[in-house]
Structure 1
Amino acid sequence: MIDPPVLPGELMSLRQRVRLVVVLGSLIAIGPLTIDMYLPALPSITDDLGTTSTAVQLTLTGTLAGLALGQLVIGPLADALGRRRPLLAGLALHVVASVLCVVAPSIAVLGTLRVVQGLGVAATSVVAMAVVRDLFSGSAFARLFSRLMLVMGLAPILAPTLGSAVLEATNWRGVFVVLAGFGVLLTLTALLALRETLPPERRRRGGMADTVRTYGELARDRVFVGMVLVAGFAMAALFAYVAGSSFVFQDQYGLDERQFGIAFGAGAVGLITATQLNVRLLRRWTPQRVLVGALTLGTAAGALLIVFAATGFGGLATLLAALWLVLFSGGLAMPNSAAVAMTRHGEAAGTAAALLGAVQFGTGAVAAPLVGVLGNDGLAMATVVAGGMVASTLALVLVARPHRMTDPELTPAAIPEPAVA
């Protein structure tokens, strides 16, 4: 067996790795903040702009659609131009769109600007994942990515609470003022603290033809496609929860904005707990085995979620418990599916990350309005969440096929664990 190549990340000191996690985690965090921070304001936006809850939810869909489309464009650019320039351009676009959201006069304008916000923020997730792949692969990628999710996972916890605090001081437009300020701060962070990780000799110079050819190569890799679908459907379950939780918790169960922030944050804790447990699990098992166990748990929890939502058994407490388990399983599934997918295509990390992210946010964009279409209640949310987990499991079994997912870099002992505290 040929030993895996030594990548630059293996030579980094503890301090350098901690700094990398903090910087990349902060950059990725702008995505969840952009998506989640205005969730407590959805009912007030509905009233202020004289529209419907379904129409307001479509602004969330617009953001996810922008994230999906933006990644398909930025990924190849990151492989051709390096990581920093597309990142800085995306952050600048996000800041401009956030400022314009502050003065949006109608739901149509707000929805359009939210698409532009998504296009801009797409750069952060693509570039961050490509940088990690430039430096790590295999199980080391999964472990580092799990640590990264600890940092970026704080965003979904803090976002609704921060949004609620902003709403106490001002109205929903103030949320976008804060997002614009955060975008400016991250632009300065990227300029000062993130070095280029893709040297000129490794950049792809084939233009559009090379981009199309690379996407074609990725699409012909059955395991890669399976992992992309696994991650995408798991993300669909997550965003069905994001889209429906505000209306379910506040309208159906009577929580106020502050209580909603706490309940929503509890779910994010499940996601974060899983990502950190994943680091320990990968000391003994491969990402493939952890992924199988995670999706088995997620499917079972999804079934319980539907039962509790349909019968009302146990009220909000049992609903939250089942949701916690689903999000916990998603926290295990997402870094491991990404590790299997990205390890196979390190030569085109930006494009591979773009396709992975585009499918994730694209399925999220489809799942989010489904909750509204089905009724915006607990059962509607549970149905879409559980459906996402079932679809993710089917993609693993029928498309990726676990017995095909073998790679010498995806073993517990392949690369020592990054020593990130």
Structure 2
Amino acid sequence: MTAAMTCAPAPETAAKRLGPREFVVLMAFLQALQALAVDSMLPALGHMAADLHLQDANQRQLVVGIFLIFGGLGCLVPGTLADRYGRRRVLMASLGFYIVCTIGCALVTNFWQLLAMRAILGFTCAGLAVLPAAIIRDWYEGDQMARLQSMVAMVFMVVPMIAPSIGQAVLLVASWRWIFGVMAVLAGLVAAWTWVRLPETLHPEYRQPIQFGPLMRTMGDVTANRAAFGYVFGMALIQGALFGYINSSQQLVAEHFGAGSRFPLVFACMASMMAMTNFVNARIVERFGARRVSHTALLVYICTSAVQLTLALYEAETLYRFIAVMTVNVCLMGFIGSNFASISLQPFARTAGAAASAQSFIRMVLASSLGALVGQAYDNSARPLAFAMVATGALALLLVLYSEHGKLFRRLIPPGAPRPRA
């Protein structure tokens, strides 16, 4: 990994200030702040609904859904700013907004104020989701980039593992409002770490002026580029099903399946398995290629989703059966996500920031909107979620086939690159 960093801008400075392991952990923690803003809420949704006098049980999901939707809308902005002013400045601004908005969420007096603050929080801290991918793209490419994405995702998954437990622990000693206080403190620590340790990674000659025309062209390039199109929209569909699960998980797992206070443990187990999946992916992706690994995972995902749907339709699903099949699907998403992301960014070397923003915008807006629809369709069963998983998996496969001209499992090796040993 150290050798790969010699391609980074100002490599000597980068090597002195930030080692490869620390780089992986910092990128993961930056992305994890957004996961914390979602997953730490889950055990508290019922408390929020009671405290803020909600009548419709499904409305509580909007605390998560609104954040995700506006986080997607905000993805279009930070990458373009980062291509002009550098990654570091925009990251620090995103962290600052995160701290201020989480404090604002703690001080609201009604549910609609909370939704408004969550929308602002999601929009202004979108850079935390977008820019780590652009920073990684500044220093890596190809299957090595996919490997690093998996390593980042593996560390990142620590937060979804513990975030519901953090929320549950806060509720044992204080109001749900203090969950936002904990978020603000953790964001402050990550901001200090970023300020002290992260150098600017954008090559000076890659800086782009901010113009509306080029921004729209980048968006057009992302949607018109056949090699990227299927992976961007395919991942949006898969992620939409995941968001549908997250939106309804508290009602589905804790209430319908009766997990109760064991819900954070269930969530942690699934997240830990996904982290293990990303570790495995990081170990095998350079050997087998991002396409082969992700295409195989997608086909298996469709099969296991069909099993989930069958169990739900015939009312044969128990808590443990649901957990077992859903955990397999979550693991398969780990093989799909980081590889799809790296494949879709490959055509955009000089405009990685804007391309990462455009792709994240498309993925997040579509995925969060779809996830909100799946969540609102919750009917005290796992059927809506299972239907969504089967449908999104099948459509994602069609999109990937379009990008790959009808051929799966191809291994594309850049000219001059060493071929993997058999």
- Whether TM-score is above 0.5 comes out as yes
Corresponding residue number in structure 1 for 2:366: 363
Say if 2:258 and 2:319, in contact at 8 Å, map to a contact too. Answer: no
Q: Find the counterpart in structure 1 of residue 277 from structure 2.
A: 274
**From 70, 76, 80, the counterpart of 1:76:** 80
2:41 maps to 1:44: no
Any gaps of 5 or more consecutive residues in structure 2? none
Greater mean deviation of Cα atoms: 103-112 or 327-336:
103-112
Matching residue within 214, 230, 233 for 1:229: 233
> Distance in 1 between the 2:101 and 2:75 partners?
17
Q: Normalization by structure 1: what TM-score?
A: 0.91
State the match for 1:132 in structure 2. 136
Residue 302 of structure 1: aligned partner: 305
Contact kept, 8 Å, 1:77 with 1:86, in 2: the verdict is yes
The CA deviation at 1:217 is: 2.0
Question: How many angstroms does 1:179 deviate by?
Answer: 1.0
Which whole-Å CA distance do the structure 2 matches of 1:13 and 1:159 have between them?
A: 32
Q: How does 1:168-207 map to 2 (within 5 A)?
A: 168-205=172-209, 207=211
Secondary structure of 2:75's aligned partner: helix
Shift of 1:310: 2.5
Give the residue type in structure 2 aligned to 1:108: W
Give the aligned partner of residue 313 of structure 1: 316
The answer to whether the 8 A contact 1:247-1:377 is kept is no
Report how far residue 380 of structure 1 moved: 2.3
Confirm whether residue 165 of structure 1 aligns to residue 169 of structure 2: yes
SS in 1 for 2:157: helix
State the partner residue of 1:377: 381
How far is 1:311 from its partner? 2.5
Greater mean alpha carbon deviation, residues 295-304 or residues 201-210? 201-210
- The CA deviation at 1:205 is 1.6
Describe how 1:49-68 pairs up with structure 2 within 5 A.
Answer: 49-51=52-54, 52-68=56-72
RMSD of aligned alpha carbons: 2.5
The structure-2 alpha-carbon separation of the partners of 1:392 and 1:177, relative to structure 1 and needing over 3 Å to count, comes to same
Contact 1:285/1:412 (<8 A) preserved: no
Which moved further from structure 2: 389-398 or 178-187?
389-398
Displacement, 1:206?
Answer: 5.0
Assess, with a 3 A threshold, how the Cα gap between structure 1 residues 307 and 335 changes in structure 2: closer, same or farther. Answer: same
User: What is the CA–CA distance in structure 2 between the aligned matches of 1:155 and 1:336, rounded to whole Å?
Assistant: 21
Deviation at 1:135, TM superposition (A): 0.2
Superposed displacement of residue 178, structure 1: 0.8
Out of 90, 95, 102, the residue aligned to residue 91 of structure 1 is 95
Q: How many residues align?
A: 412
- The TM-score normalised by the length of structure 2 is 0.91
1:322-368 deviation digits (Å, cap 9, x = unpaired): 10111111000011111111121111111111122222221232233
Q: How far, CA to CA, are the matches of 2:389 and 2:177 in structure 1?
A: 29
Query: Are 2:242 and 1:238 equivalent residues in the alignment?
Result: yes
Contact 2:286 2:420 (8 Å CA) reproduced: no
CA offsets 1:200-239 (integer angstroms, 9 cap, x no match): 2210125222222222222210111111012211211211
SS for the counterpart of 1:345 is: coil
The AA in structure 2 aligned to 1:326 is N
CA contact (8 A) 1:241 1:385 kept: no
State the shift of 1:58 in Å. 1.6
Percent of aligned pairs sharing the same letter: 25
Name the aligned partner's letter for residue 153 of structure 1: M
**How far does the alpha carbon of each residue in 1:274-299 deviate from its partner, in whole angstroms, 9 at most, with x for none?**
21111222243111111110100111
- SS of corresponding position for 1:224: helix
Aligned partners of 1:363 and 1:334: how far apart in 2? 15
